[in-house]
Amino acid sequence: MKRKNFVLLPAALITIFILYSCARDYVTGKRTVSLVSESQEIAIGRESDPQVIAEYGLYPDTELSNYVNNIGQQIATVSQRSNLKYTFRVVDSPVVNAFALPGGWVYFTRGILSHFNSEDELAGVMGHEIGHVVARHGAEAATRGQLAQLGLGLGSILSPEIAQMSELAAQGLGLLFLKYGRDQESESDRLGAEYSTKLGYDAHKMAGFFRTIARISEGGERLPTFLSTHPDPGNREVRVNELAAEWQSKVPYTPKNTERSDYLRRIDGVIFGDDPRQGFVESGVFYHPELRFQFPVPRGWFVANSPQVIQLVAPEKNAVVQMSLEKASSPREAAEIFVKNSGAQVVGSDSRPVHGLPAWRVESAVKDQNNVLHVLSYFIQKDGSIYVFHGYTPDQLFSKFAGTFESVMAGFEPLRNQAALTKKPLRVRIERVRQSGDLASVLRSFKTPDDKMKELAILNGMKLEDRLASGSLVKVVRE
């Protein structure tokens, strides 16, 4: 690895550089420090968009995607940055989230769309995400990231250890700046209420959806949700209700005719939860029908599955196993590439076939300036592809997790459970209430299991004791 040369800039030059790196705050009109221009913002979004698509995949429903895009484009026209070319996408993820990239790229997961119960809720959250773009919150994060990168570079002059781990540290910074600050969230809440109200949407319903998000988190949901990247600035529901009332009195407000039933019909059939075609866990085994493999999942471990990587996380979050596909001519070559690129110190390395498949096993240590990660890796060849497993944990915990790592990786094999090939995804189904009653009795009439009642109440944005009239619509989940 070539050592980079860094030059320390005199303090005066740095001051001049910052003074000439100001940008306009599109919300307040004031000047603000930024190392990212509008053209750079657009470039960040444009270059990151393919990575988002590769990570999550686009949800294959053209009609739903066009519907979301249409609402987004309308809201963009009443924002302070209507000059931007906005792109709105629906990504194929069960996670209940929405996010925006600098420059006008906005994403909604199918998971969050299935949890909305009105177009007003969708419009409010859409306004919130466009607010992040308008207020340049992503660009602010990029600015902080560039300043932090400068700090890493300067540190590398003094510390060879930091130089060796600069790439890993950069990845850590990316994760650090993924989450918005509470002040930014407050600003986007305000902008979301402003934009949606100007178009005739009821922002009070956006406040109600934030209550739904809070209920998901209170229920112990382990998947990252809206709150993990959009922290509650405090009394969010109360504050958004106040903003809704404020904007409805401030602008000419003519309520749109948005019926809950109209929105529900649009999401009828949306996949709910994991799509088994992309992999699923059943009875302690992860199955992937399309790639036709399976491996055991340790009891109690959380599984995060995306098109690019599968991660298994220990209950205490102190150990991880991840699996991905890599390009190499052989397992051994893949192992050598990993060791070279990571700077790992090899403890042991040998050929070790897995269920008749060619494989190479490596045990190594990866160091940063403060910690040592002990890593067990398997590189397994199947159907012309190299499946790469890495199990890592702090060095002092490796003896605790070594057996678990080994059982997962050595348990990888071609798909044996043929029933996995025919497993169908669960979908949101919209049903008409046959007889009036509380939500609990209505859900039971559609054969909802007792252990799913609370989840379905949240999905409907209701409580189990809430009343439903005969003929009204309700969400249920089934194949």
Question: What single letter denotes the amino acid at residue 3?
Answer: R
The H or E element spanning position 478 is strand 473-478
The whole-number pLDDT of residue 229 equals 73
Low-confidence ranges of the chain (pLDDT < 50): 1-21, 145-178
Q: How far apart are CA 21 and CA 36, in angstroms?
A: 8
On the 0-12 / 13-18 / 19+ scale of CB atoms within 10 A, 284 is exposed
The whole-number pLDDT of residue 3 equals 34
Query: DSSP assignment of 387-446, as one string?
Result: EEEEEEEEGGGHHHHHHHHHHHHHT-EE---GGGGGPPPEEEEEEE-SS-EEHHHHHHHT
Q: Are strands 87-91 and 105-109 parallel, antiparallel or unpaired?
A: parallel
The whole-number pLDDT of residue 286 equals 97
Tokens linked to 403: 């057996």
Cα-based angle 340, 343, 345 (whole degrees, multiple of 5) = 105
Tokens linked to 29: 């009109």
Handedness of CA 279, 281, 283, 286 (dihedral sign): positive
Tokens linked to 272: 């709910």
Helices 137-158 and 119-134 pack at an angle, to 10 degrees, of: 50
Q: How far apart are CA 248 and CA 198, in angstroms?
A: 8
Q: How far apart are CA 309 and CA 363, in angstroms?
A: 21
The whole-number pLDDT of residue 181 equals 81
The whole-number pLDDT of residue 77 equals 98
Q: How many of the other CB atoms lie within 10 Å of CB of 398? A: 21
The neighbouring-strand residues paired with 379 are 360, 388
CB 355 within 8 A of CB 412: yes
Q: How far apart are CA 183 and CA 292, in angstroms?
A: 47
Is the full-model pTM beyond 0.85? no
Q: How far apart are CA 266 and CA 269, in angstroms?
A: 9
Tokens linked to 409: 């990786």
The whole-number pLDDT of residue 219 equals 63
The whole-number pLDDT of residue 225 equals 67
Question: What single letter denotes the amino acid at residue 202?
Answer: D
CB 101 within 8 A of CB 88: no
Query: DSSP assignment of 226-291, as one string?
Result: HHHHS---SSHHHHHHHHHHHHHHHS--------HHHHHHHTTT-EES--GGG-EEETTEEEETTT
In 11-37, which ranges are continuous DSSP H helix?
Answer: 11-19
Q: Is 164 helix (H, G, I), strand (E, B) or coil?
A: helix
What's the fold here for domain 276-421? Answer: Protein Transport Mog1p; Chain A (3.40.1000)
376: left (phi over 0), alpha (psi -120 to 50) or beta: beta
The neighbouring-strand residues paired with 177 are none
Q: How far apart are CA 167 and CA 162, in angstroms?
A: 9
Q: How many of the other CB atoms lie within 10 Å of CB of 405? A: 26
Contacts of 464 by beta carbon, 8 Å cutoff, 6+ apart: 438, 439, 440, 443, 453, 454, 457
The whole-number pLDDT of residue 28 equals 56
Taking alpha carbons only, the member of 408, 462, 406 closest to residue 437 is 462
Q: Is 105 helix (H, G, I), strand (E, B) or coil?
A: strand
Tokens linked to 475: 């969400």
Query: DSSP assignment of 296-325, as one string?
Result: E--TT-EEEE-SS-EEEE-TTSS-EEEEEE
